[in-house]
Amino acid sequence: MEGGTRRCSKCRKYKIVSADTWKAKFGANGFYLTSNCRACCEASSAAIREKREKNGANKENISDETEDEKSDLSEFIGASAMDLDAFLNALTDAGDINLFSALVDVSGIEKEEVKETADAIAELVWEKIGYRFHYHSVYHFKNSATARYEYHCAQSSTRQHKPKKGEGKKQRDKGQMQTFDCQGWLTIWAAPDDDSEYFIRIRHQDCHEKYVCIDVPEDVKQFIEENSKLRSYQLWKEILKKHPLPAFSQKAVYTLWSKQQQSQWRRSDNELDSAKILLAEFARNPTYQIESIPLPADGGGCIALAFSLPPLLRKWAGTIREAALDSTFNTTKAGYECFALLGEVFGSGLPVGFLFIKTSSPEPNQKEKYIRAFIRDLLDKWNLDVIQSLSDKDITEINALLAELPDDIKHQVCFWHSIRIVRGRLSVLARRPAFYDVNEAFREFDWIDREFLPLGQLDPELQTPVSLHI
């Protein structure tokens, strides 16, 4: 293409085809020369900028120089394609790069997708010049498979993301990689319908220090995968024997180990669906024998999952006379509560069933409805003959147990919680207790002495040692 002459459609002059006299662009049909010569194109751009300035355009819209530089591919005029090895050798020989352009035959990169090929080129550039480029964006030309892929320098100060504080987590200072105003960009133009020749341009105004990779090496990843049964600290000790001064951190190793552990039980990104699938697998496995418990289907602001442990119930259901209901708060990251029903066996608590429940603006008594269904299934299916129940101060647990168990059972609240409530109430000195109504108290507890009155309501004249039983 270079060396011949071409006529400008605006000034009507014949000019030699070169980067000095013509501009080139990349479009839906691939690489092409503009119809106007370079001088006419620049004059038109200057006139447009002047007109915008007169019309009071915003400062950021006045100049198109950056976009012009991005779209102008005149350095490729007359370029011949080089193979991949020649391109990589040229990168090595170039040393510190400010601007490097090449037309490269990438048939040596065996990738099916164009994006994968572009990513592979970015990795090869990183290996050769020491600057890492992260994927930024892709522009697909209309009605064409032609595309432009852009990658920015990983150490560019203008491309760094602000750190985000995780929900419910304490904000902590983190070490950051040193950044520079390098304006580093790797741009790749690909026209896969035509051939395997890619137009590659590297811009890097500031030749700063090289990128230090803190990624976990492949051999370490393989070691973690093959030794997932080891604890994370044990893995780290073994890794240090092979990598005494690693660039990667122990936290990165822990993250990989944690993901490897999750793969053993994680079945879905949705934790409820994952748990249901896992329970179904366990139900079919004779080793575990876990059985799902049916719960109300109406929801009402509650999401729940429950299961029982048949092997333990078959062995001990006939001996259980005392049952306790206890719960944990925020058991999972998503905020599920875990309720467990335990039976007393030889002085120890035996878990016989679990209920996981998450509430979000539930309807009145909806949570209690789920707990009752959980308790009812265990009582009816396994014929538990409970004569005493225990719970903490949670009124929902108390009501659920009293509603599902026989009326003549004894229910006992956790002694530690009872003492805590009394002590907490007695420690309030600045506020008088509510007015004591003997009739209301007697309706609730018929064994109360009707003659009893709190000291604050007792007539001062009647406050004698005899009446106070001193």
At 193, list the tokens.
């319908």
Calculate mean pLDDT across residues 154-159: 85
Residue type at position 419: I
Instruction: Tell me, yes or no, whether 317 and 383 share the same domain.
Output: yes
Which of 194-208, 227-241, 427-441 has the least mean pLDDT? Answer: 427-441
Q: Is residue 90 part of a domain?
A: no
Instruction: Tell me, yes or no, whether 404 and 463 share the same domain.
Output: no
Among 67, 129, 122, 73, smallest CA distance to 96 is for: 129
Does position 169 have pLDDT exceeding 70, yes or no? no
Q: Is residue 321 part of a domain?
A: yes
pLDDT of residue 325: 94
Question: If phi over 0 gives left and psi between -120 and 50 gives alpha, with beta otherwise, what is residue 381?
Answer: alpha
Count of CB atoms situated within 10 Å of the CB of 185:
19
Instruction: Tell me, yes or no, whether 321 and 367 share the same domain.
Output: yes
Instruction: Tell me, yes or no, whether 289 and 412 share the same domain.
Output: yes
Number of domains in the chain: 4
The domain containing residue 452 runs over which residues?
Answer: 432-470
Does position 6 have pLDDT exceeding 70, yes or no? yes
Among 86, 93, 77, smallest CA distance to 199 is for: 77
Does position 171 have pLDDT exceeding 60, yes or no? no
CA angle 214, 217, 219 (to 5 degrees): 160
Q: Please, is 55 exposed, middle or buried when counting C-beta atoms within 10 Å of its C-beta (0-12, 13-18, 19+)?
A: exposed
Contact 434, 441 (CB under 8 A): no
Residue type at position 379: L
Instruction: Tell me, yes or no, whether 287 and 342 share the same domain.
Output: yes
Among 55, 78, 101, residue at a domain's last position: 78
Per 3-state DSSP, what percentage of the chain is helix, strand, and coil (rounded to 5)? Answer: 35, 20, 40
Contact 278, 267 (CB under 8 A): yes
Count of CB atoms situated within 10 Å of the CB of 211:
16
Query: Which pLDDT tens digit goes with each residue over 175-189?
Result: 567 788 888 999 999
Instruction: Tell me, yes or no, whether 399 and 325 share the same domain.
Output: yes
Among 45, 78, 111, residue at a domain's last position: 78
Among 245, 262, 279, residue at a domain's last position: 262
Q: Is residue 121 part of a domain?
A: no
Q: Is residue 337 part of a domain?
A: yes
- The alpha carbon of 198 is separated from its chain's Cα centroid by a whole number of angstroms, namely 36
pLDDT of residue 370: 95
Contact 40, 8 (CB under 8 A): yes
Q: Is residue 408 part of a domain?
A: yes
Block residue for tokens 């071409």: 6
pLDDT of residue 194: 58
- CATH number of the domain where residue 365 is located: 3.30.420
Instruction: Tell me, yes or no, whether 247 and 303 share the same domain.
Output: no
Instruction: Tell me, yes or no, whether 351 and 459 share the same domain.
Output: no
pLDDT of residue 195: 65
Does position 258 have pLDDT exceeding 50, yes or no? yes
Q: Is residue 128 part of a domain?
A: no
Q: Is residue 46 part of a domain?
A: yes
pLDDT of residue 285: 80
Count of CB atoms situated within 10 Å of the CB of 300:
16
Instruction: Tell me, yes or no, whether 317 and 386 share the same domain.
Output: yes
Q: Is residue 98 part of a domain?
A: no
Does position 59 have pLDDT exceeding 60, yes or no? no
Does position 469 have pLDDT exceeding 70, yes or no? no
Query: Which pLDDT tens digit goes with each residue over 337-395?
Result: 999 999 999 999 999 999 999 988 888 889 999 999 999 999 999 999 999 999 988 88
Contact 206, 180 (CB under 8 A): yes
pLDDT of residue 65: 41
Phi/psi at 80 (5° precision): -105, 150
pLDDT of residue 192: 63
Instruction: Tell me, yes or no, whether 333 and 398 share the same domain.
Output: yes
Report the half-sphere exposure of 50 (CA within 13 A, side-chain side). Answer: 6
At 56, list the tokens.
């009071």
pLDDT of residue 216: 84
Instruction: Tell me, yes or no, whether 322 and 410 share the same domain.
Output: yes
Q: What proportion of the chain, given as a percentage, has pLDDT over 70?
A: 90
Instruction: Tell me, yes or no, whether 281 and 366 share the same domain.
Output: yes
Calculate mean pLDDT across residues 107-132: 89
Helix (H, G, I), strand (E, B) or coil at 359: strand
Does position 58 have pLDDT exceeding 60, yes or no? no
pLDDT band for position 158 (50/70/90)?
Answer: confident
Query: Which pLDDT tens digit goes with each residue over 40-51?
Result: 998 998 888 888
Does position 166 have pLDDT exceeding 60, yes or no? no
pLDDT of residue 470: 62
